[in-house]
Structure 1
Amino acid sequence: MAGKLTLIVEMVTVLGVAVSGGYLVSRLRQPVLLGYLLGGIVVGPAGLKLVTLEGDIQVLSEVGVALLLFALGVEFSLKDLLRLRVIALGGGSLQIILTILLAGGLAYLTGWVQTVPKAIFLGAVLSLSSTAVVLKSLIERNEVQTVHGQVMLAILIVQDLGLGLMLAVLPALTQPTNIIGIALFTALLKVLLFLLGAILTGRWVIPFLIRLLAQSGSQELFLLGILVLCLGIALFTYAIGLGIAMGAFVAGLMISNVEYADHALDRVLPMRDVFATLFFVSIGILIDPGFLLANGWVLIGLIAVTMLGKAAIVALIVRGFGYSLKTALTVGIGINQIGEFSFVLAGVAQTKGLFSSRLYGLTVGTTAITLLLAPFMLKATPYLLQWLEQLSVLSPFLQLNSSPRLVGFEQELANHVVVVGYGRVGQTLVRMLYFQGHKILVIDNNEAALQTLRERRIPYLFGDASSTLVLEKANLTQAKAMAIALPDPMATRLTLKRALSLAPDLDITVRAHVNEEIDSLYQLGAQEVVQPEFEASLEMGAHMLLKLGDSTYAVQQVVNRYRRGRYRDILPERSEYWGAADLEVAIEGLQNHWYVLHSDSPLVGLTLAQTNARRLTGATVMAVERNKQLYRYPTGEFTLASGDRLLVVGNSQEHVAFTKLLKGEA
C-alpha cells in the first residue's frame, strides 16, 4: 500500500517544503523561487533524503516546464517588442550573442570546458536573465514605465523569444564533429517547417478549436482542451527531436493572438504555478551544499565573472544604441543575473551529456545565487551611480553628467516655464502652456519623444533632468515655474532636490506616483504635489456632485479642501498607512545623515521655519526622532528641542553647511 502512495507522499512533501520555504523567504522580501530551491535542498539527497528524482516527480517537473513556457508564449507581447524594436531586436540579440562568445570563449580558453559545443551551451545558459525577478522588482519600485525599465523589459522579451530557438537548435551540438553541420542544418530546417506549420495551424485551426471549447460553456472542458493542446504540441516536438519546451512555447504563441488568450492564461496559471513549483523544487533537490562549499572559490569566481561580464556587455550595448550612460549602467546591473529558464537549458545539457555533474552543479548554484542577489543589485544601483557622480576623477570619464544639448532658444533663457519629462502627462501640460502663450523649456532624455517639439519649434533641453549640469543649463533662477512629470520616482526626488538647491524660491509642481510620495515631496520643497489617481477621483466626484444638484461653488470648495489637505482626508488611516518603509523609500538615492541637536545649538527652541535651513544650507529635514518617537515629514511649525535627532538629506556641500548651521557658524 505504501508503494502505491509513494507519488502522493512525495508530492505532499515537495509542495509542503515549497510552501514553507516560499513563505519564509517572502517574509524576508526575497523571491519565492529561492524558497523553493531551499526546500528542495532540505528534502533532497543532500538533506533529509525524503525525495529523489527517480520516478514520477521528475515527470511532473517536466509538465511544469511545459506549462511555464506555454504561459510565457501566451504572455509574449509582440506590441511591446515592436514599440522598442531597435533596442529589443538589435540590442537583445547582440547581448545574447556577445554573452555566448564571452562566457563560452573564456570557459574554453581556460580549459574549464573541453569542447566548443559545451562552451556554446554554457554561454547560452549564462545569457538568459530572469524576467520574473526583474519585473517584480520594477513593479515594487514603480519603475516599469521608466526608460531603464522599458529597455530592461525589451531585452528580456527577446531573451524569452530566443529561448525557444536555443531549445530547438542547441541539442544538435551533441552530434559528432563530422556531422555537426548537417545536424544544425537539419535542426534549423525542422524549426522552420514546424514554425510554418504552427503559423498555418494557429491562423486557421487553433482559433476554431478554442471557439468551440468556449462555446460549450463548460470551464472544465475549456481548461482540459487547453492542456491537451499545450502538452500535445509539446509531445509532437519531442517526437521530432525539438524538445518538449519548444513545443509548449510555440503552443502559447499560437494561442496568444486568439481572443480567448487571456481567459486561457487565467485558467492555466494555477496549474502552471503548482507544476512549476515541482520543477523548481526538483532543481533544489539536485543542489548539494557540501559540493558548493567544496568549490566555493570557483563558485565565487563564476558569479563575479558572470555578473560583471554580463553587466558590462549590456551597458555597452545600451550605451551604443544612444541611451544615456546612467540608463545603460542601470540596465546592465539590473539584468546581470541568470534566469530561471537557464535551469531548463542546463537540464537539457546534462541530459545530452554536455554538462558533467560538477559543471551542472556549479551552473545551478551560480544561477540560484545570482537570482538571490538580483533584487539587492537593483536597489543598490542608484547609490552606486550617486557614488560615481561624486568621484571627480571618474565622473568626466564616465560622462554621467555629460554636457546637455539645448535646442530652440536663440535668446537667453528667462521668464520661462520648465517642464521636466515629455511623457503623456508632460505632453498634455506642454500643450496647455503652449496654447496659453507661455514660454516653455522641456527637459527629457528620450530623443524619439522630442521629435514633436522640433516640429512645433518648442525649445527643449536633451539630457537627464536629475543632473546638476542639465538643471544649471535650464537657468532655473530666471524661470517662472517648474513642473516635474517624470515616470521614475527616484529621478523625481533628485530633480526636485537639486532644482531647489539652485533656485530655492522656484515654484515647483510635482507628479507623485504613489501615495507614499506625497508628504516626502512636499517636505523636499515642492509647492504642489499632484497624485493622478486622487485627482481622477476628485474630478469624478465633482462631476457626480454637480449632476446631483450641488452648486458649482460648493463642489469647488470640497475639491479644494481635499487638495489643501494634501489628500490626507482620502488616504487610508495613518496608523495603518505610514511605516518606516515609506521613509526609507523617500530618502532613497539622496545623501542622508542623522544629526544630534545639542543643547548649545542656536537651533534649539526654534521652529523649522525659523531656522530657514533650506534657504541657508540647501538641506532638508525629513524626520525628527525625539524620546524614541519618530516624527516623519515635520512641518514648518515643528519646534526643535535639545537631544533631537534630525534626518537630513542634501549633497556633500549642503551637509557641510548644515553642520555649520547646527554649530552657529552660519
Structure 2
Amino acid sequence: MHHTPLIATIVAGLVMAFIMGSLAHKLKVSPIAGYLLAGIFVGPFTPGFVADGDLAAELAEIGVILLMFGVGLHFSLRDLLAVKGVAVPGAIGQIAGATLMGMGLSWALGWDPLAGFVFGLALSVASTVVLLRALQGFGIVDTERGRIAVGWLIVEDLVMVLALVLLPALAEVMKGDAPASWTALLVPLAQTAFKVTGFLVVMLLVARRVIPMALHWVVHTGSRELFRLAVLAIALGVAFGAAVVFDVSFALGAFFAGMILGETPLSRQATEETLPLRDAFAVLFFVSVGMLFNPAVVVEQPLPLIATVLIIVLGKSVAAYLIVRALKYSHRIAITAAASLAQIGEFSFILATLGTSLAILPAAGRDLILAGALLSILFNPFIFNWFVPKRQEKTDPIEPPVDTSDLRDHVVLVGFGRVGKLIARDLLAKQRRFILIEDQADMARDAKAEGFDVVRGNAVDPEALKAAGVERAARLLIAIPEGFEGGAVVEAARAINPGIAIVARAHSDAEVEHLEAKGAGEVVMGEREIASRMLSLCAVPGARRRSRAGKR
C-alpha cells in the first residue's frame, strides 16, 4: 500500500465524515452527530479500517487553533473586559459546582478524593469547538449573550491551564510519603502566573504592533496567496510559540493573536481566508472525539455513565443558569450560557489523559469522561434548538423610548449595526426625526448613549413596531444583515401600515426575491450598488470629454 498514516487518517476521516454528515443532514439532525459517528466507525473499537488516533488528535488541535483564532478576530479586548463581571465569577462558580458534583459521583464509585477532583474538573469545562458551532448556527456569536458565553469559556481555559500545571505537583504531594507542603503548590502557581503574565505582556505590547505592521506590508504586495499564508502563519505560529515559550495552551495563544488582528481593518479579510481550513479541521476534531469512544462503556457502566451525562448536561447547566440570574442578567442570557456549557470537550480529554498518566485517575474514569463527552456533544445541538431562543424570536419585553404618539411621517430604522449606525448618524445630521428598533441590549445602550430614541425589542414583534409608531411613519428602513429575517419585519410592518415605504437590505439574489415578495418597495444589495457606483464614476470622465468637445 502506497500511503502514509497521515494521508490515510485525513482521507478516512473526511470521507466518512462527509457520508455520515450527509446522512445526518438528510435526517434533519445536526451534522456534528454524523461527524462523531464517523469517528466511531474509523476508531479502534469497531471492525474495519482504524485511523491513527494520535495523528487525528494533532489534526484536531490545528482545528481548535484556527477556530480560536477566528473567535479572536470577532472578540476584541474591550468585549472581553466588558463581560468580565459575569464571565469570571460565573466560570469559577460553575467549575466549583461541577467539580463537587463529579467528586460526589467518584466517592459513590469508591475512588480516592484526588481522582474525584480530576474527574470533576474534567466534567466542568466545555468544548470551545462545540460552543462556537452552536453560536454560529444561531447567528449570535457577536451578540451580548454570545460574547458572554465565549468569555466564560476563555476564563475556563485559563483555569484549566493553571490546573494542568498544578496537577503534577499536586499528585506528587498527595501521593508522596512526605507531608503535604504549601510550597510545593505555591511555587508552580507562581510560575504559571508569571508565564501567563509574560505572554499577555508580549502580546499586548509587542505583537499588537508587529502583527498589524506585517500584515499591512503583505497587503501592499498585492498577493492574495501571500496574505492567506501570512494569516495562517500568524495563527499557528503565535499558538505554537505561546505553548513552547510560555506554557499556555495553543487555543489561548491563537485567541489572542486573532483578537489583536481583529482590531485592524484587515480582520474581515483574514476571517474569510481562514474559514475553509477552519471548517475542515473542525470536522477532524469531531472525528477524533468519536475515535476515543468505546461503545462497551454503555453496557459495562450504564448507571455511572447516566450519572456522568446528567452532571454534564443538567447539573452544571442549572448551576450556570442560577449564577447568571443571580448576577441580574436576563433569562435569555442565562439560558444561552446554560446550554453552551451542557457538554465537555478538548480540555476534558487532556485532563483525563494526564490524570491516567499520573496514575491518579482510574481507567474507568477516563472512559466515563470520553463517553460523557461524546454523548453530551451529541445532545448539545438538540439542547440549543429546544431551549435557546433564536435571534428573531420574541424573548424580551418591549422597552419604548419617550412617548411617540405625536410623531407623524417619521422614519423607523431597524438595526444599529455597521449600516444602521451610518444611517442613524446621517438622519441626525439632516435633522430628520426617526425611531430606532434594536433587540440587542449592548447595541441599544450604544444608540441611547449617542442620543437616539430607541425601542428595545425585536422588529419582527408587532408590539415593537407599534412602540416605534410604524402605523404613522412615512418610511421603514431595515438595516439588519439577515435578509430573510428582514422579510418577516416587512410582513409585520405591512400588516400594520400597508402604505408605508419600505427600504430593506440584502446580501443575495434569493434575499432580494424574498424581501420583494414580502412587500419591500426597494431592496439594496451591496454588490449591485458597488457595481452601479463604479460604473457611474467611469461614465463621468466620458461625459466631461463629450461636453468639452461640444464647446470646441
Q: For this structure pair, what is the TM-score category when the shorter chain's length is used for normalisation?
A: 0.7 to 0.9
Deviation, 1:447, is 4.8
Partner of 1:169: 166
Deviation, 1:190, is 1.9
Partner of 1:82: 77
1:104 to 99, 104, 110: 99
Deviation, 1:276, is 9.1
Structure 1 spans left out of the alignment, 5+ residues: 390-399, 553-666
1:130 to 127, 133, 144: 127
**Contact 1:337-1:370 within 8 A present in 2 as well:** yes
Code of the aligned partner of 2:423: L
**Contact 1:96-1:127 within 8 A present in 2 as well:** no
Change in Cα spacing, 1:180 to 1:545, as seen in structure 2 (3 Å) is farther
**Contact 2:129-2:282 within 8 A present in 1 as well:** no
Deviation readout 1:517-573 (Å, 9 max, x if unpaired):
322233333333333343333323333343454999xxxxxxxxxxxxxxxxxxxxx
| Root mean square deviation, CA, Å | 5.1
Instruction: Show the 5 A alignment for 1:353-502.
Output: 353-380=359-386, 400-402=395-397, 404-409=398-403, 412-450=406-444, 453-454=447-448, 457-487=451-481, 492-502=486-496
Deviation, 1:191, is 0.8
Code of the aligned partner of 2:332: K
1:25 to 20, 26, 31: 20
For 1:442 and 1:411, the matched residues in 2 are separated by 15
Code of the aligned partner of 1:21: M
In the alignment, does 2:522 pair up with 1:528?
yes
Deviation, 1:348, is 2.2
Change in Cα spacing, 1:466 to 1:333, as seen in structure 2 (3 Å) is farther
Deviation, 1:100, is 1.8
Deviation, 1:417, is 1.9
**Contact 2:415-2:478 within 8 A present in 1 as well:** yes
For 1:453 and 1:270, the matched residues in 2 are separated by 35
For 2:308 and 2:483, the matched residues in 1 are separated by 34
Change in Cα spacing, 1:435 to 1:250, as seen in structure 2 (3 Å) is closer
For 2:273 and 2:444, the matched residues in 1 are separated by 42
**Contact 2:470-2:493 within 8 A present in 1 as well:** yes
**Contact 1:99-1:123 within 8 A present in 2 as well:** no
Deviation readout 1:169-203 (Å, 9 max, x if unpaired):
34444344452744432221121333456568777
**Contact 1:408-1:459 within 8 A present in 2 as well:** yes
Q: Which has the larger radius of gyration?
A: 1
For 1:549 and 1:284, the matched residues in 2 are separated by 65
1:93 to 88, 111, 136: 88
Change in Cα spacing, 1:67 to 1:549, as seen in structure 2 (3 Å) is same
For 2:389 and 2:108, the matched residues in 1 are separated by 35
**Contact 2:407-2:469 within 8 A present in 1 as well:** yes
Change in Cα spacing, 1:317 to 1:438, as seen in structure 2 (3 Å) is farther
Deviation, 1:146, is 4.3
Q: Secondary structure at the match of 1:337?
A: coil
**Contact 2:483-2:507 within 8 A present in 1 as well:** yes
Moved more, 277-286 or 98-107: 277-286
By relative contact order (CA 8 Å, sep 6+), the higher-ranking structure is 2
**Contact 2:59-2:284 within 8 A present in 1 as well:** yes
For 1:498 and 1:372, the matched residues in 2 are separated by 36
TM-score, with normalisation over the residues of structure 1? 0.62
Change in Cα spacing, 1:103 to 1:186, as seen in structure 2 (3 Å) is same
1:347 to 353, 356, 360: 353
In the alignment, does 2:226 pair up with 1:192?
no
For 1:438 and 1:233, the matched residues in 2 are separated by 52
Identity %: 25
**Contact 2:86-2:148 within 8 A present in 1 as well:** no
Deviation readout 1:13-60 (Å, 9 max, x if unpaired):
5444313322213424488876665455335442227659xxxx5665
**Contact 1:405-1:461 within 8 A present in 2 as well:** yes
Deviation, 1:312, is 4.1
Deviation, 1:142, is 5.0
In the alignment, does 2:540 pair up with 1:541?
no
For 1:438 and 1:206, the matched residues in 2 are separated by 41
Change in Cα spacing, 1:360 to 1:424, as seen in structure 2 (3 Å) is same
Change in Cα spacing, 1:496 to 1:371, as seen in structure 2 (3 Å) is farther
Instruction: Show the 5 A alignment for 1:628-639.
Output: none
Deviation readout 1:440-494 (Å, 9 max, x if unpaired):
1122244554556556644222334334443333333222222222355675454
For 1:265 and 1:486, the matched residues in 2 are separated by 20
Code of the aligned partner of 1:165: L
Deviation readout 1:412-435 (Å, 9 max, x if unpaired):
444332212222222222223333
For 1:434 and 1:265, the matched residues in 2 are separated by 33
Q: Which has the higher helix share?
A: 2
For 2:63 and 2:144, the matched residues in 1 are separated by 28
Partner of 1:48: 47
Q: Secondary structure at the match of 2:437?
A: strand
Code of the aligned partner of 2:516: Y
For 2:18 and 2:358, the matched residues in 1 are separated by 35
Change in Cα spacing, 1:489 to 1:150, as seen in structure 2 (3 Å) is farther
What is the number of residues matched between the two proteins? Answer: 517
Partner of 2:222: none
Change in Cα spacing, 1:330 to 1:166, as seen in structure 2 (3 Å) is same
